[in-house]
């Protein structure tokens, strides 16, 4: 790990002023940055600790039934908040399944979606393994290598990795908004397209501009009938093979509206838009609903080792639909 300077910010204005300079890396919970520096993924020169900036950890109900979560709210604080648990249970469930309790006490809701892929070639300790994300132009070792955990949607020959965040999947399902600040003015960014696919970039994971940072995430409408299902190799803390976040509106047991986002299948949460359209008017649990979900995988492309993900992801989405409907 290379030496770096360290300072603490005391206000948003101080963060914005500091970010006008180059080579500044923000530190919140620190559960990712220190690992990146240790294995050479990042080489921070100046680290600015924002964990103590007042006001960025607030969780507030919105008048329309949604909720605003400050970026520095820890994952456990967000999951335990009554407004989150009752208005958007899918997000609380995704958070609880995302990491161990110890990590959730440190990791933040703003930092979690900024995780980097867990592809072992990207995270190679020596950094010499061909990986276009580590060394652009070097190739993608997973394309024809060990790729059982890799993408079935949105991949290119430059990168077949997946994104590991669980809360990001729930936020994409909920059509949440990522609220940012920047020295030249902040943005309100859709959570469902906040992360970049390999066809957009293999060197930057999100749409954040240099010097831009997250101050909150907002869900502007409640989704009480929602659920998160995560399939992993062991029930204790592990990254998803596939996951599904679902929010539904029902008339009896008939779908009026459905939102489905998958995790573990692409470099960003993947919305099953065809299934969302085709489920309207169908009864939860019916053969037609099953066909509508599995039919949405017509564009999925398996790699040499991960064809199992296609039926698994479809069944996971169906299970999440059933779990969401049971909350009615």
Q: Is the pLDDT of residue 40 over 90?
A: no
CA dist., res. 29 & res. 167, Å (int) = 15
Domain for residue 21, yes or no? yes
Query: CATH no. for residue 36?
Result: 3.30.43
pLDDT digits (tens, 9 = 90+) for 42-86: 888 899 999 999 999 999 999 999 999 999 999 999 999 999 999
Q: Which residue has the higher pLDDT, 31 or 117?
A: 117
Answer whether 0.85 is exceeded by the pTM: yes
Q: Is residue 135 part of a domain?
A: no
Asked which of 33, 49, 65 is the last residue of a domain, the reply is: 49
Percent of the chain with pLDDT over 70: 99
Q: How far apart are CA 115 and CA 312, in angstroms?
A: 24
Question: Is the pLDDT score of 128 beyond 80?
Answer: yes
If you write DSSP's letter for every residue of 274-296 in order, what string do you get? Answer: HHHHHHTTPBTTSHHHHHHHHGG
In a domain, 262, yes or no: yes
| Residue 288's CATH number | 3.30.390.50
What is the extent of the structural domain holding 239? 226-325
Written as six digits, the tokens of 237 are 């803390």
Q: Are 173 and 246 a contacting pair, CB within 8 Å?
A: yes
Token pair for 134: 């580590």
pLDDT above 80: residue 103: yes
Please tell me the total count of domains within the chain: 2
Is 88 within the bounds of a domain? no
Confidence band, pLDDT 50/70/90 cuts, at residue 127: confident
Query: Residue 170 falls within a domain, yes or no?
Result: no
The pLDDT mean for the chain works out to 95
Return the sign of the alpha-carbon dihedral for residues 282, 285, 291, 297.
Answer: positive
13-31 pLDDT per residue, tens: 999 999 887 789 999 988 8
Q: Which residues have CB under 8 Å from 163's CB, separation 6+?
A: 115, 117, 195, 205, 263, 266, 267, 268, 269
């Amino acid at each position: 790990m290379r030496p770096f300077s360290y300072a603490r910010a005391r206000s948003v204005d101080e963060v914005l002023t500091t970010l006008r300079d180059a080579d500044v890396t923000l530190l919140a919970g620190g559960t990712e940055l220190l690992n990146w520096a240790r294995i050479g993924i990042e080489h921070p020169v100046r680290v600015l600790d924002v964990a103590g900036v007042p006001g960025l950890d607030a969780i507030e109900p919105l008048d329309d039934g949604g909720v605003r979560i400050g970026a520095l709210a820890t994952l456990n604080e967000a999951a335990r908040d009554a407004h989150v648990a009752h208005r958007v249970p899918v997000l609380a469930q995704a958070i609880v399944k995302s990491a161990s309790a110890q990590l959730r006490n440190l990791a933040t809701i703003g930092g979690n979606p900024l995780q980097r892929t867990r592809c072992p070639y990207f995270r190679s300790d020596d950094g010499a393994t061909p990986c276009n994300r580590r060394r652009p132009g070097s190739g993608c070792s997973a394309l024809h290598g060990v790729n059982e955990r890799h993408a079935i949607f949105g991949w290119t020959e430059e990168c077949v990795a997946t994104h590991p965040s669980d809360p990001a999947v729930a936020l994409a399902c909920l059509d949440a908004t990522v609220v940012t600040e920047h020295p030249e003015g902040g943005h309100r960014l859709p959570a469902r397209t906040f992360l970049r696919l390999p066809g957009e970039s293999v060197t930057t994971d999100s749409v954040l501009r240099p010097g831009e940072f997250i101050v909150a995430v907002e869900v502007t409408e409640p989704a009480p009938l929602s659920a998160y299902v995560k399939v992993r190799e062991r029930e204790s803390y592990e990254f998803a093979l596939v996951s599904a976040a679902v929010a539904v509106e029902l008339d009896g047991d008939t779908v009026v509206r459905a939102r489905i986002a998958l995790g573990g299948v692409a470099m960003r949460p993947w919305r099953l838009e065809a299934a969302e359209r085709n489920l309207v008017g169908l009864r939860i649990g019916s053969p037609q609903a099953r066909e509508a979900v599995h039919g949405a995988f017509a564009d999925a492309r398996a790699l040499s080792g991960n064809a199992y993900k296609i039926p698994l992801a479809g069944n996971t989405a169906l299970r999440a639909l059933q779990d969401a409907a049971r909350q009615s």
